Amino acid sequence: MSDLIEALRAALPDAAVLTDPDLLRGHQRDEADLCAAGTPAVVVRPRTTAEVVATVCVADRYGVPVVPQGARTGLAGAANAVDGAVVLSTAAMDRIVDVDPVNRTAVVQPGVVNAALAAEVGRHGLRYPPDPGSWESSTIGGNVATNAGGMCCVKYGVTGEYVIGLEVVLASGEVLRTGRRTAKGVAGYDLTRLFVGSEGTLGVITEVTVALRPAADTSLTLVAVFDSTAAAGTAVAGIASGGLSPSLLELLDRTHLQAIEAYRPMGLRTDAAALLLASVDTGTAAGTDLDRIAQVCTAAGAAEVYAASDAVEAAALLQARRLAHPAMERLAARTFPAGNGGLIIDDVAVPRSALSRMLDGVEAIAAEHAVPIGVVGHAGDGNLHPNIVVDRADPDSLTRGRAAFDAIMRLGLDLGGTCTGEHGVGLLKRDWLAEEIGPVGMRVHRAVKQALDPTNLLNPGKLL
């Protein structure tokens, strides 16, 4: 490895090649619990596409795998290192290259944080809609690599719907430009879509061109409280069938409400079985639309429905939803102290019509396997995140937790869903990807990988 590191130092600025053991340990993994991770030989932080090319070429020369990483906020193990790898961190590639208000596009390097892009385009009266829960820390490159979703997906869609062009360094060291900066364009295969969601297995993204939207109108927000999660699911189906278009429709179950209130008290109804958080941003029609959503929730059995009194209260409710993940981490830590509390975070999406059956099924699975499971999710598009709490120090707890995870995956597929709505496959769901897409689908995936990365240089062991 000393020859590899010396070659990297010869090809890159000194500050870009990092070997401190503590730093290497810090770059072993993303935030997915219970996924294997190795120790990299070196971390490289390039600032330019040329430096990425140099890194890939040196790694290829020495036959050492390259693991691209962004902010390591992922939840599927897609950014986990393998032993002896070159971790290629895009954190230093953090320039917003261009914002074009006329054509409503932005060009950014992959290390730009989602919230930073949102703030910059907001100064131009524009909006970049994708907003994953980690938007204040996750990067655009990572969002693209996993095709990240977020809370506004119910109306505005996922990351891939806004990516119109990419610059990608291939395993060969060649630089590929895909897509366009025009409003329309259908020339050739859609290579941009091929790399979106590929989790660093086909190339290293070095520049992203995204489409922007006009800034949204002021939102109105309501909360509906339910005595069962299934009733909340019924309300979601009714909102969809009623032709309503909320800009946000989120679900929190009792486990999450209690965890959030314990983590940061804010007066949430911890006695409720489920809470639906809905927003509309339809301008002058917003009041009417919110009333219609309230009527659907009441008809579905909501025990209480109330609208946020002002923008401050609405923002507080939204912040409560964003606290779901750290609150559940705190719950796991308190349930199993001494660092043994772990979370297996699922990410299953089902048709909205199947949401009630999915919620009932998760409750039954928790009882059958005797593990605590809290459910939070983007109810408006059927994307749920069951959080399975396990004791890392207890093999039986881990076995039951993994069995519950698999049962949730099985149920989701049986209901016509998918094994991942937004977190990606990574290490966590490779077997379930194969189950979902079948042998022909896997053969096509492997053929694409072989064509673009014949030596399996890039992020080996992920996805396939």
Domain range annotation of the chain: 2-89, 96-214, 220-414
Give residue 1's pLDDT: 80
96-214 against 220-414: fold identical: no
Spans of the chain, pLDDT less than 50: none
Give 3-state DSSP helix, strand, coil % of the chain, rounded to 5. Answer: 40, 20, 40
CATH topology of domain 96-214: 3.30.465
Residue 315, C-beta contacts closer than 8 angstroms, at least 6 positions apart: none
CATH topology of domain 220-414: Vanillyl-alcohol Oxidase; Chain A, domain 3 (3.40.462)
Q: What φ, ψ does residue 239 adopt, rounded to 5°?
A: -65, -45
Count other Cβ atoms within 10 Å, centred on residue 439. Answer: 8
Extended strands (E) in 325-454: 341-345, 348-349, 373-378, 383-391
Q: Supply the DSSP symbol for 161.
A: G
Based on the number of CB atoms within 10 Å of its own CB, is 349 exposed (0-12), middle (13-18) or buried (19 or more)?
Answer: buried
Give residue 288's pLDDT: 95
Q: What's the CATH number for 2-89?
A: 3.30.43.10
Q: Tokens 């094994």 belong to which residue?
A: 419
Q: What pTM was estimated for this model as a whole?
A: 0.95
Nearest to 323 by CA among 166, 60, 134, 145: 134
Give residue 218's pLDDT: 81
Give residue 265's pLDDT: 94
The pLDDT tens digits for 186-199 are 999 999 999 999 99
Give residue 309's pLDDT: 85
* C-alpha dihedral sign at 127, 129, 135, 139: negative
